[in-house]
Structure 1
Amino acid sequence: MKIIHFGPEDIATSWQRIQALRDLGHQVHTVYYSRIAERVNLTKRIYRSVRRRIGFPAEQCAENRTLAEMAAALQPDVVFVEKGLTLRPATIRQLRYACPNALLICYSLDDMMNPGNQSRYYLKNLPLYDVHFTNKTYNVPELLSLGARRVELTGNAYSPHVHRPFAGSESDKQRFGCEVSFVGGFEYERAQTLNNLAEHGIPVRVWGNNWDKFRNPHQKLCIEGRPAYGDDYARVVCSSKILLGFLRKVNRDVETTRTFEIPAFGAFLLAERTEAQESLFQEGIEAEYFSDEVELIDKIKYYLQNEDKRAAIAAAGRQRCLNSGYSYHDRMEDLLNVIGCTKD
């Protein structure tokens, strides 16, 4: 199958989905709407900020023209759009005209009812796609009510190319490891919980964006001030004894990509308790969960003192990933099976 993938240039989940589609034997051509480490001057930053705030985000890569030209030339079977916040309705209609047999899909793992994840272009384009894919059950009726033709569920996932046991060196353990680690962006509630752990004598290391917003971290709370990507992410996860899993409340999350990535590394996940996560990894067998800070602190102290039980749960969590179809290869294969039934 010939696929055009429209998404960000990154080394994270978008790349992992592209790689999975290629591993499944499909030809995947890419159109980027953003670039890694792009240098942007102050004037352009202000311009982009204003455009984003009014709901019409500015292009970064001439992506509307590039997508239309590539589609006309390649005549793809599928145009796979990740969010598509900068895609104009005229571009989608042009795709329809130039590639009448192509299936147009829109894919997102974010809560697309969160205004911060939308654009006016996105809302206008909702009825123009053949099918939308979301990992959030509550987004299904919401997207349909806004005009989407069809909405299907997919799942978060891990990449077998990236999320696998990593044998770090002693130097890696010193540079990246900790008793307890968290990888993710700043949110006020997360910060207060992590501070409380530090106040109870639990050393915690934090990697992610925007933690400079946290003004008064406890002295035992080690804020790295930078994200951990690629091999550094693997070094953090595989060099730490316990990995915390917090949910993004603004996205109404009941699970996240880290729900799958951390066990896939063969690491020990201690995450916020939800019915969704409990259905994915059995509590006390394949992962651990907490409902409040008291339970969180008790479980951290218990598992730091019980290495054998911690290791057994980590190993079982990885095996669950391998056995239950949680990889992007599985998710993309399922997705393609669905879209194969949506257009004659």
Structure 2
Amino acid sequence: MIRRTVDKTSGSCGESASLRILFEGALWSGSDSYAYVRALRRAGHSVTAIEAANFLPTGWRSKWLRGLRRILEPWLIAEYERALIDMARHLSPQLFIGFKANYVTPAAMHVIKDTGAVAINVYPDVSFMAQGPRLPKTLPLYDWVFTTKTFGLKDLESTLGVRNASFFPPAYDPEVHAPCELDAADRAHYQADVSFIGSWSPKKEMVMAALAQAMPDARIRIWGNTWDRASSESLRSAIEGRVVTGLEYAKCVRASRINLGLLSEQVQGASSGDLITHRTFAMPACGGFMLHERTAEITQYFEEGIDCALFSDNEDLVAKARYYLDHESERAFVAEAGRARALRSGYSVDARIQEVLSRFEIIAARKRRSSGVSESDNPFNRGTG
């Protein structure tokens, strides 16, 4: 079996041996994690995936059920740990990828490493210290950590002593984040003047409330988790109380005249809040018009007024929203240019996995040299597995 290697700019393909990969991460359609699984399979690799949510029910909403989960959690995690260890021993993977992987235990990591696998973590969140007690113990055990936050490198070293790490930005999923046709039902369901797709935070509520108060006649809609925590009266009619994922995410972006890129604030264990995020790349890839919070980093990926619009504060947000709602042709031009920029600049998950695989080959070669294995004995070169 061969894998196809996609050049991020030209789209040309090369060939090399398939890898046997064990992948830990969320597997729901539209998740960043599952995008990596599909991209690895598109590249011709054999991917066996496990998801902690299959063992720990994350969707329970009632207080009684959440309390029951807290009581059962040690046994649920132990069951998950056994399943992960069994998979590693039976599969004997060449590469283990943990995408966030905050339920992976140190014991499981040691078994995975003992199989000879190279272990790489892709970490997409702001803080390494806000995801429970296991992650700070397991991250130092990986051969390499990729963080999608530039400040994550400093945080990894200062909090966990991890230096085997590098940055790459988030990515869009070409199977999900693409322009889609909308029928009348889609437009009725998702149409908006301004929309935000993402989870609640105090900062995001403050920004959205300021916009809603300044533009009471605009149709503003908010989709995402935990917005029931919002207390602003001006947002009552805007909060949908639902999550949109997969193709529905793309439809929502296409049906909104303006899509907001709001960033998470600084949390415990992080030296900064978000500077770019997943939606920075997903919204333009969907062909939507993006009005994004201004940071120094976003200007490295998109050009203001050409392929995105940026705002500096609440007053600027309101002014830009009013301007672009009144200038439809300019808005359409920026949206089209944003998608073109995302495609030609290699912002897709397929480009990201090439960085992961390149790092794997460097680490695997180093391990072979240290163990005295020659390149001619390298099973990766022979294409076995």
Q: Which residue of 1 aligns with 2:314?
A: 293
**Among residues 150, 153, 161, which one is paired with 1:140 in the alignment?**
153
Q: How does 1:1-344 map to 2 (within 5 A)?
A: 1-11=19-29, 12-35=31-54, 45-49=66-70, 59=76, 62-97=79-114, 99-100=115-116, 102-113=117-128, 115-117=129-131, 119-145=132-158, 146-148=160-162, 150-201=164-215, 202-218=218-234, 221-250=237-266, 252-344=273-365
Deviation at 1:310, TM superposition (A): 0.4
Q: Which amino acid aligns with 1:218?
A: S
Structure 1: distance between partners of 2:20 and 2:259: 39
Deviations 1:217-273 (A, max 9, x none): 327842111111223222211111000110000351001100000000111000100
Deviates more, 1:156-165 or 1:68-77: 68-77
Deviation at 1:143, TM superposition (A): 1.6
Deviates more, 1:82-91 or 1:40-49: 40-49
Higher RCO (CA-CA < 8 Å; seq separation 6+): 2
User: SS of 1:161's equivalent?
Assistant: coil
Structure 2: distance between partners of 1:104 and 1:249: 30
User: SS of 1:296's equivalent?
Assistant: helix
Distance change >3 Å, CA 40–CA 218, structure 1 → 2: closer
Structure 2: distance between partners of 1:255 and 1:334: 19
Distance change >3 Å, CA 270–CA 219, structure 1 → 2: closer
Aligned 8 A contact 1:179 1:240 in 2: yes
User: SS of 1:158's equivalent?
Assistant: coil
Aligned 8 A contact 2:24 2:50 in 1: yes
Q: Which amino acid aligns with 2:150?
A: T
User: SS of 2:352's equivalent?
Assistant: helix
Q: Which amino acid aligns with 1:212?
A: D
Aligned 8 A contact 2:60 2:66 in 1: no
> Root-mean-square deviation (CA), in Å?
2.2
Deviates more, 1:57-66 or 1:289-298: 57-66
Distance change >3 Å, CA 31–CA 174, structure 1 → 2: same
Q: Which amino acid aligns with 1:235?
A: K
Structure 2: distance between partners of 1:58 and 1:83: 21
Q: TM-score, normalised by structure 2?
A: 0.82
Structure 2: distance between partners of 1:40 and 1:310: 40
Q: Which amino acid aligns with 1:271?
A: H
Deviations 1:35-54 (A, max 9, x none): 387568866522544798xx
User: SS of 1:152's equivalent?
Assistant: strand
In structure 1, stretches of 5+ residues that fail to align are: none
Q: How many residues align?
A: 336
Structure 1: distance between partners of 2:106 and 2:346: 35
Distance change >3 Å, CA 33–CA 8, structure 1 → 2: same
Deviations 1:134-182 (A, max 9, x none): 1112221332342325112122000110000011012211211111111
Q: Which amino acid aligns with 1:298?
A: A
Q: Which amino acid aligns with 2:122?
A: Y
Deviation at 1:25, TM superposition (A): 0.9
Aligned 8 A contact 1:194 1:221 in 2: no
Structure 1: distance between partners of 2:316 and 2:59: 43
In structure 2, stretches of 5+ residues that fail to align are: 1-18, 268-272, 366-385
Distance change >3 Å, CA 169–CA 38, structure 1 → 2: same
Aligned 8 A contact 2:208 2:235 in 1: no
Identity fraction in percent: 33
Structure 2: distance between partners of 1:300 and 1:41: 38
